[in-house]
Structure 1
Amino acid sequence: MPATGAALAPGGLPPVLEATLGRDRGLVELARLAVAGDDTAARAAQERLRAAGPEGLRAFERAHGPALAAARAAITAAADAPFDQRDPAGLGEPARARLLAALDAVCAQRDCVLSGLYWHTDLDEAVRTARREGKPIVSLRLLGDLREELSCANSRFFRALLYPDPGVHALLRERFVLHWSSERPAPKITVDLGDGKTITTTITGNSAHFVLDSHGRPVDVVPGLLAPAEFTAALARAGTVAQQTAALTGAAHRDALAEHHDARVRALDEAWTRLTAAAGQRARPWPRARRSDAPTPRAGEAAPLAISKMAPERPLLGATGEPVDPVATRLERIADLTAPAIVLSRASLGLVRTQQWRSGDAARDAAAMTTALDSLRRTLALDTLANEQEIHREIHGWWTRGSTAPRDLQSLVRRVYDELFLTPARDPWLGLADPATYGGLVGGGRRTLAHL
């Protein structure tokens, strides 16, 4: 490996690597250079590996296989680590931190070590790859950047609870071409306690996985957060219909999609009947997805549409003077029955353990983690119910016979965010600016700042 300060070619790489790039040995050498102490050369190598597509990721995995396996094992083992251990997975160790940061740069996803997923950030390139490989596309739309810690809350749950799951990442890696795009920056809020302590987190927003065929035509949307098993099933179904209809056009294509979505509505009806019976409730048709009468929906109206992320955000929304609409009681009763069946992978539990805030009292923190995981499973059960039975049901209806679904991705994204997530692009404040609420601050404390 070249010494720090060695002459670099115009592309930012040592000439020997420039000469060998494109052959397998060149990618492996790039993978080794990607974790070098020379930051300029490391960043350039990471960029070239990304440009090589999934094969660049595979080369990185081959070059650093034992170290990556050790990191995955350490994160997974952290699920059982004692709470007086400050860094149970060794994520603060410089060599490991550098390795994982390089991997994230190649994947374009934070915490990629647990999923091994390569994400395109250019849709046209994703479509070209899908056509070449004959695969459907999963296009994630989120708030913020999937590579950053402070992307929207739902995307953080995807990284922690879904993508590390063996069934989820095997499905995504083997059957789909992956792409993500930012709907808008993730809104952040900082609480300054005045004594040097601050709390910074994101607030409001929602995410969805849009499933496209190999031509880039939408066939379904998996909205919000689902439990891993349900997420895998929903994506597998959508992937199958994307492949089955890829060669169809015109009325044949529309009819095939309508048949699929009609069947999904019937399946949701049957599942809802079983769930309400198990909960001792009278079977009633699921109501249509909630709508807002306001020109710009309130953040408190949108919050219950993403229940798991609403739990940590509710107090912060309240602090802004924004009331949060309640979750339907009948959903809570059913979630009490379905939550115990939710299985989170050992890798996810280990990652959650490394991220969770601790008070410093080991016994208290151990008990708090048990409570946090129980609460997480319950809100995940609620999210799964609401996203499938309410939002996904509405999306299925867009494709059924006699209805018209948007035929291009951008139009579909707009409809999902405007009508179902209640966060329309026309509202730059994401429902957090209500002229009918007075808080004693000039402009309600809201400012427009230039970001260069």
Structure 2
Amino acid sequence: MASIRSSLTIASLLILTSGIIPLGFQFPLAAKELDTNTKIARYRARGYAGIDEFLKTNGAEMARLRTQTNSPRWKQLSQTLDRICQQRDCEASRLYWHTDLAQAKQVAAATNKPILSLRMLGNLDEELSCANSRFFRITLYSNPEIAKLLRDKYVLHWQSVRPVPKITIDFGDGRKVQQTITGNSIHYILDKTGHPIDGLPGLYAPQAFKRQLTQGAEFVAKYHQLPEKDRQTALDTYHQTQLANLQANWQRDLDKLGISIPLPKSITSLNTPPTAAEAGGIAVSKSAIESPIIQLSRAFSQRTDILKKATEDPLWVKLGELHQEDATLAANSRALIRRKQPQLASLAAKDKENYSDPLPELVTKFQKLMAIDSIRNEYLLHSQLHQWLMGNRFPVDIETLNTRVYDRLFLTPKSDRWLGLMPGDGYTGIDRDGIVEN
């Protein structure tokens, strides 16, 4: 959140700290310069009402300037809105993000909503955050159906795990290319107290992401209505069901491709998700909880290993093709991609007769890659996450879970300061292999 200057009133400060706005409270929004910390803090204090108020005043002008993204006025307006939302490209999503989990939990408790907590490398309000978080902004948050679902059903929060590594290529003639390298992101579904319910690791295709968010919100709504003593059993059943469905879908996909997988009889029953009654028998005693869950988890792991071995690398392309419809980008997302390529309009203006728009082909290729990424993340990474969360077999606070995800799922442990980018055995001929430390 932007820093708060002393000119804010005590009432404003209390509201910003609590994250809850008293009914009927209104900030006077004086028509002064848009880029002051005080005014941005006032908009942020009003949550979605602040975003709506800003767009009511400036939205029409921003719509006119969408094709002039290099203009000073567009930059001023879009950067101000991004700071209000705490998300880059907020004009396309219009989503409000908390950057303090304690505030997000206060709002979740007041609205009885789950929290969608994004963990990432870099910052969501910067252009050069990690690649997946950039794709989230472009393909997911800008999708009107997903944006509405996020706005209506979730309290949004993001947190940076560590800075994102950046690489700059200097051509020596004034031209430079700056991009990010390595890094991964994950969306956690948390209950209103911040307890992890589920997680979506990496990039998902829009329709797959929407399905996951919908079923997550529906489950948490039922979960909140249960007595506290019954919640762990319900969560176990949820993950057993999701994992069984995931593996059954994986097997069906391979069957469609003509890949025969003989499964041991001991795990063929996993095609049928456990019933609530079956799962309810788990919660009898501590030993009755742990033993069946461990046995079931081993069976799921065995099946995952069999499916993984059967799915050789070239097959992921074909699996992605089976789910290509999930990766279709919304018109708003395609328009955002075009806005981020202003050089295309310049080229078209210079040679209208011979210019061929490369964007449709670029989008088509990207959708194919996104479909592959989405199904790999679901079948390989999400399946592991379901097993970790099933049975609460290790301390499942969000920070412990996130450390485990980055250490063992994304293979980027905090202990590796160089994220696997440290030069290996190859000789570079550069002093200290080009390593610089402050």
TM over 0.5: yes
- CA-to-partner distance for each residue in 1:373-414, whole Å, 9 max, x for gaps? 12201110111111101100110111224x625421100110
Question: Closer, same or farther in 2 for the Cα pair 1:26/1:132, shift >3 Å?
Answer: closer
| Cα distance in 2 for residues equivalent to 1:341 and 1:232 | 10
Question: Closer, same or farther in 2 for the Cα pair 1:263/1:245, shift >3 Å?
Answer: same
| Number of residue pairs the alignment of both structures matches | 376
TM-score, normalised with respect to structure 2: 0.78
The amino acid that maps onto 1:124 is A
**Cα pair 1:358 1:365 within 8 Å, conserved:** no
User: Which of 143, 147, 152 lines up with 1:169 in the alignment?
Assistant: 147
Residue equivalent to 2:408: 419
| Cα distance in 1 for residues equivalent to 2:379 and 2:185 | 17
* 2:64 maps to 1:64: no
| Cα distance in 2 for residues equivalent to 1:398 and 1:430 | 24
Report the Cα offset of residue 26 of structure 1.
5.1
| Cα distance in 2 for residues equivalent to 1:252 and 1:196 | 64
**Cα pair 1:265 1:393 within 8 Å, conserved:** yes
Report the Cα offset of residue 447 of structure 1.
1.3
Residue equivalent to 1:79: none
* 2:327 maps to 1:342: yes
User: Which of 359, 363, 367 lines up with 1:373 in the alignment?
Assistant: 363
* 2:428 maps to 1:439: yes
- CA-to-partner distance for each residue in 1:164-203, whole Å, 9 max, x for gaps? 1011101110011111000001110001112211110000
- What is the root-mean-square deviation in Å for CA atoms of aligned residues? 2.8
TM-score, normalised with respect to structure 1: 0.76
The amino acid that maps onto 2:331 is R
Larger mean CA deviation between 403-412 and 242-251 belongs to 242-251
Residue equivalent to 2:37: 43
Report the Cα offset of residue 10 of structure 1.
4.8
| Cα distance in 2 for residues equivalent to 1:130 and 1:376 | 35
| Cα distance in 1 for residues equivalent to 2:189 and 2:181 | 26
| Cα distance in 1 for residues equivalent to 2:246 and 2:33 | 47
The amino acid that maps onto 2:191 is D
The amino acid that maps onto 2:402 is V
Residue equivalent to 1:11: 7
Report the Cα offset of residue 23 of structure 1.
9.4
* 2:70 maps to 1:92: yes
- CA-to-partner distance for each residue in 1:7-43, whole Å, 9 max, x for gaps? xx95179xxxxxxx9897953625x4353xxx5xx33
Question: Closer, same or farther in 2 for the Cα pair 1:289/1:185, shift >3 Å?
Answer: farther
Report the Cα offset of residue 348 of structure 1.
0.6
| Cα distance in 2 for residues equivalent to 1:355 and 1:442 | 38
| Cα distance in 1 for residues equivalent to 2:328 and 2:156 | 24
Residue equivalent to 1:33: 32
Residue equivalent to 1:287: 305
| Cα distance in 2 for residues equivalent to 1:56 and 1:394 | 40
**Cα pair 1:219 1:241 within 8 Å, conserved:** no
User: Which of 409, 416, 422 lines up with 2:398 in the alignment?
Assistant: 409
Report the Cα offset of residue 236 of structure 1.
1.6
Residue equivalent to 2:193: 215
The amino acid that maps onto 1:368 is P
**Cα pair 2:223 2:231 within 8 Å, conserved:** yes
**Cα pair 1:137 1:176 within 8 Å, conserved:** yes
Report the Cα offset of residue 341 of structure 1.
5.3
Report the Cα offset of residue 289 of structure 1.
11
Question: Closer, same or farther in 2 for the Cα pair 1:411/1:25, shift >3 Å?
Answer: closer
Q: What is the DSSP-based 3-state SS (H/G/I as helix, E as strand, rest coil) of the residue aligned with 1:29?
A: coil
Report the Cα offset of residue 287 of structure 1.
3.0
Q: What is the DSSP-based 3-state SS (H/G/I as helix, E as strand, rest coil) of the residue aligned with 2:420?
A: coil
What are the equivalent positions in structure 2 for 1:75-114 lying under 5 Å apart?
75=66, 89-114=67-92
The amino acid that maps onto 1:202 is T
Larger mean CA deviation between 45-54 and 101-110 belongs to 45-54
Task: In structure 1, list runs of 5 or more residues that go unmatched.
Answer: 1-8, 14-20, 76-88, 291-326
The amino acid that maps onto 1:384 is S
Question: Closer, same or farther in 2 for the Cα pair 1:448/1:177, shift >3 Å?
Answer: same
Residue equivalent to 1:388: 378
Q: What is the DSSP-based 3-state SS (H/G/I as helix, E as strand, rest coil) of the residue aligned with 1:200?
A: strand
User: Which of 159, 172, 177 lines up with 1:199 in the alignment?
Assistant: 177
Residue equivalent to 1:236: 214
Residue equivalent to 1:315: none
User: Which of 313, 317, 322 lines up with 1:332 in the alignment?
Assistant: 317
Q: What is the DSSP-based 3-state SS (H/G/I as helix, E as strand, rest coil) of the residue aligned with 2:198?
A: strand
**Cα pair 2:326 2:371 within 8 Å, conserved:** no
